[in-house]
Copies of this chain bind each other. A is one copy, B any other.
Amino acid sequence: MSAAIEVALIQDHHRGSAEANLAAIEVQLEAAAADGAQLVLLQELHNGPYFCQRQAPEEFDRAEAIPGPTSERLGATAKRLGIVIVASLFERRAAGLYHNTAVVLERDGSMVGKYRKMHIPDDPGYLEKFYFTPGDMGFHPIQTSVGKLGVLVCWDQWYPEAARLMALAGADVLLYPTAIGWDVRDSETERRNQRQAWILAQRGHAVSNGIPVMSCNRTGVEEDPTGRGPGIRFWGSSFICGPQGEFLAEAETDQPQLLRARLDLRHTEDVRRMWPFLRDRRIDAYQDLLKRFRD
């Protein structure tokens, strides 16, 4: 374990095609590497639009095998730049079996692990249950040259169970590629509350587990292809925080941005010594966490 990890994330908007997105991302990956980043997180489904606003079978054409063209391209970039990349892809596992999958590409270009999104949302504008089979690989951090990465995806970010399981398995940092935004018909108060809730839940995981968190969200507006809905104004606001939930870097709501921070793993050790939450968990009294509801 190194004493610190130099990290970055790339908040971006959809640029119209996979090629345009990947080209822009590669420029930012180069900038991050040049600035000393060892680990870079990309946003959810970065090589395309957020296509889940409608249910349309042809959208499955966007999916690709893992390993496949995008993971191989990013693997080559990881090797060229000597960095670890965490990327989010639409995985085609078999006909009729697709996942929302994050992959971890080592600085030697190899794919050292993947995580299939476990919690799948489904609400207006985010019709994910049509597209994504819930993950079947559980919650396991991925060992890399810079540390053990607790990779989770988007909707997972609301679940303290997921964060805790990663921390209990020795994750050094939690990473959330994500895609969340506003329905512009909502009131300003509601929009503020939603964005704030999203930040709070993830900083809360940092605190409850004494672990740094990186969350990389989209920005920009994406229209509803059916023309019936209002589209989504992705709220950006990507951030990196330390093990007390303290902000280390924060992005704007409305523009592409490269964020950089240094994660001091010694600070994690110190925070957990004085606030040793893992010591006092009442594992004898948590059985009902395995129930849907206690009724």
Binding site for B on A (CB under 8 A): 118-121, 123, 134, 138-139, 155, 158-165, 168-170, 193-194, 196-197, 200-201, 203-208, 244-246, 274-278, 280-283, 285-295
Contacts and interface: CB of A to CB of B under 8 A. Distances in A.
- Copies of this protein, total: 2
15 contacts: A138-B285, A159-B281, A160-B160, A161-B164, A161-B286, A162-B282, A165-B294, A169-B294, A193-B244, A194-B244, A197-B207, A197-B246, A201-B204, A203-B204, A278-B292
Given A193-B244, A200-B245, 18 more contacts: A119-B281, A134-B282, A158-B275, A159-B208, A159-B277, A160-B160, A160-B164, A161-B164, A162-B282, A165-B285, A168-B294, A169-B294, A193-B245, A193-B246, A197-B207, A201-B204, A283-B289, A289-B290
Given A119-B281, A208-B204, A244-B196, A289 B286 contact: yes
Nearest to A139: B285
Interface hub of A169, A203, A285 (most chain B Cβ within 10 A): A285
A170 to B, nearest CB: 7
Nearest to A243: B197
A172 to B, nearest CB: 14
A136 B171 CA distance: 31
Contact of A158 (B118, B159, B161, B208): B208
A157 to B, nearest CB: 10
Contacts of A197: 207, 244-246
A291 B208 CA distance: 16
B161 A281 contact: yes
A246 to B, nearest CB: 5
A115 to B, nearest CB: 12
A246 B196 CA distance: 8
Given A283-B290, A283-B292, A200 B193 contact: no
A155 B282 CA distance: 12
A205 to B, nearest CB: 7
Given A139-B285, A165-B288, A294 B158 contact: no
Contacts of A169: 288, 294
A249 to B, nearest CB: 16
A293 B170 CA distance: 8
A160 B208 contact: yes
Contacts of A283: 289-292
A155 B280 contact: yes
Contacts of A244: 193-194, 196-197
A281 B160 CA distance: 10
